[in-house]
Amino acid sequence: MRYLVVFFVLVSFAGSISASWYSDRRRDQFPKEDAYLVVPLPYSYPGIGEGFFLLGSASNLFDTTADALFVEITGDASGRVAKFDEVPLLGNELFLSIQVSDIDRAAVNEYAVRGMDGSDGDDYTILDVGEAAENIFRLDYSLNNRRFNYFYSRTVFESSLNAVLDSSGNLIQQLDSSFSTRNVSHLLGFSIDLTDDYLDPRKGFRFGMDYIDHPNEDEVNNPDFYVINYNFLYYLPLSKADTLVVNYFQSDAHVRTIGNTNEADIRSELGLNCSANVECLQTEQTLVDNLVLARTYGSAMTLGGLERLRSYPQSRFTGGHSAFLGAEYRWNLTEEAVPFNYFFWKDVRTGKQIAFFAEAGSVSEVSSELWDEQRYTYGVGFRLLAASGSVYRVDIATGDEGVEVAVFFYYPWR
């Protein structure tokens, strides 16, 4: 309850900030330049196979801020994702976003160790997940030219585990019946944006806070917990053409009720039925240990992937608490409005940018051990800025577990 009190105090403070604190916006904060992109992307994943993602996106539909994204997955895995973003309900103040995902088969890396202490990037098994579905409903309320933003979202995620594979994709154990999970979360958050541009800031600062509730509802074995996220960004212009960005992020899980941590019960839930299969028994113990920790400490926001610690796979590091510190030097090579239309890609280029970044992160089960163990990422990225509001980016990052390439449509650390 005290965190909700702090949350509403900060919201009230945001509303009382003097206009003398504001940076003038450089441009329209609600661009309506239409754009689209259609592109096939190949995938190859151990234990799943090969195929293509067919991605199609359209920005600022019908001369509004509404965007649409559709992904069709074909090949050895199949499924689809549809997202409608920033659909205006009330002028430039109230927006609706909806995302629906229906995946028939997917692969998830299950690392042998939560946290970072002794964690090895090669020590993981692959969870063969079928019938994964995620539905997200979100409302955003924006005031004062996007300087004050309030949002609520509800997420329902359901999945079923069908088999466990080794890191090369070889079958360890097929489950007799799927291990099904269902998680519901509610997010309430706000951000203060005192920069010169909501979409492409060059100076000023931004602070955001999220409260994410994870009630156990009908899943009595799961813990009942909530997560508090803090995100601070500072933008320092070094010259007319470049900007230094500093980001500090922290995520803390707080458990109200511990879930069922009885190992015999968890083995029964999983239903691996390993018998005398030594490899299966070892994998089962890893899954049991990780579930015990998750049900005891909860799970904060993960590190790794497109946003933070970009040299590591998505959700590489998990624990009850996570923290991140990053710096990115953005050098704007050009600033000019250049329309382009390549049949499969249409937009208006407003700039080209090179970015150099360094990141550090830490994950632990208890907050007092944050930063005892750390991981680092260094890299370079290229961004194409567009009038539609998209930031087409390619980042190449390296760390102690190798190199990762990220391709996406917005800045990191949002």
- pLDDT tens track for 347-356: 999 999 999 9
Higher-confidence position of 352 and 337: 352
First-to-last alpha carbon distance for the chain, in angstroms, is 27
The per-residue pLDDT for range 6-39, each reduced to its tens digit, is: 555 555 555 555 555 666 898 899 989 999 999 8
DSSP SS3 for 261: coil
Q: pLDDT above 70 covers what percent of the chain?
A: 93
The per-residue pLDDT for range 102-132, each reduced to its tens digit, is: 988 888 888 988 989 877 788 899 998 888 8
Split at pLDDT 50, 70, 90, the class of 207 is: very high
Q: Is the pLDDT of residue 337 over 90?
A: no
Higher-confidence position of 409 and 206: 206
* Mean pLDDT lowest among 9-18, 159-168, 234-243, 310-319: 9-18
Dihedral over alpha carbons 303, 304, 305, 308 (to 10 degrees): 60
pLDDT score for 7: 52
Give the CA distances from residue 388 to residues 338, 347, 393, 399, in Å, rounded to whole numbers and listed in that order: 12, 7, 14, 33
**Which helix (H) or strand (E) is 411 found in, with range?**
none
Q: Are 145 and 25 in contact (CB under 8 A)?
A: yes
Q: Are 355 and 329 in contact (CB under 8 A)?
A: yes
Q: Which amino acid is at 307?
A: E
d(CA 254, CA 204): 32
The per-residue pLDDT for range 255-271, each reduced to its tens digit, is: 999 999 999 999 998 88
pLDDT score for 3: 47
Q: Is the pLDDT of residue 76 over 60?
A: yes
Give the DSSP letter string of 67-87. EEEEEEEEESS-EEEEEEEEE
Q: Are 270 and 292 in contact (CB under 8 A)?
A: no
- Domain boundary assignment for the chain: 2-408
pLDDT score for 10: 53
Find where tokens 């089962």 sit: 284
133-156 CB burial, b ≥16 within 10 A, e <16: bbebebebebeeebbbbbbebebe
pLDDT score for 240: 85
Q: Which residues contact 32 (CB under 8 A, 6 or more apart)?
A: 60, 63, 64, 65
Split at pLDDT 50, 70, 90, the class of 292 is: very high
Q: Is the pLDDT of residue 367 over 60?
A: yes
Phi, psi of 208 (to 5 degrees): -135, 150
Q: Is the pLDDT of residue 93 over 90?
A: yes
Using only C-alpha atoms, the chain has a radius of gyration, in whole angstroms, of: 22
Q: Which amino acid is at 183?
A: N
Q: Are 133 and 102 in contact (CB under 8 A)?
A: yes
Q: Are 169 and 151 in contact (CB under 8 A)?
A: no
User: Contacts for 389-394 with beta carbons within 8 Å, 24 or more apart?
Assistant: 389/31, 389/33, 389/59, 389/60, 389/65, 389/199, 390/35, 390/59, 390/347, 391/199, 391/200
Higher-confidence position of 99 and 182: 99
d(CA 269, CA 76): 28
pLDDT score for 11: 54
pLDDT score for 8: 55
pLDDT score for 118: 75
* Mean pLDDT lowest among 43-52, 153-162, 175-184, 404-413: 43-52
Which tokens belong to 379? Answer: 């890299």
193-225 CB burial, b ≥16 within 10 A, e <16: bbbbbbbbbbebbbbbbbbbbbbbeebeebbbb
Residue 397: which of 300, 311, 274 has the closest Cα?
311
d(CA 154, CA 156): 7
pLDDT score for 121: 81
Q: Which CATH class is domain 2-408?
A: mainly beta
**Which helix (H) or strand (E) is 164 found in, with range?**
strand 148-165
The mean per-residue pLDDT over the stretch 385-400 comes to 92
Split at pLDDT 50, 70, 90, the class of 329 is: very high
Give the dihedral sign, CA 151/204/304/360. Answer: negative
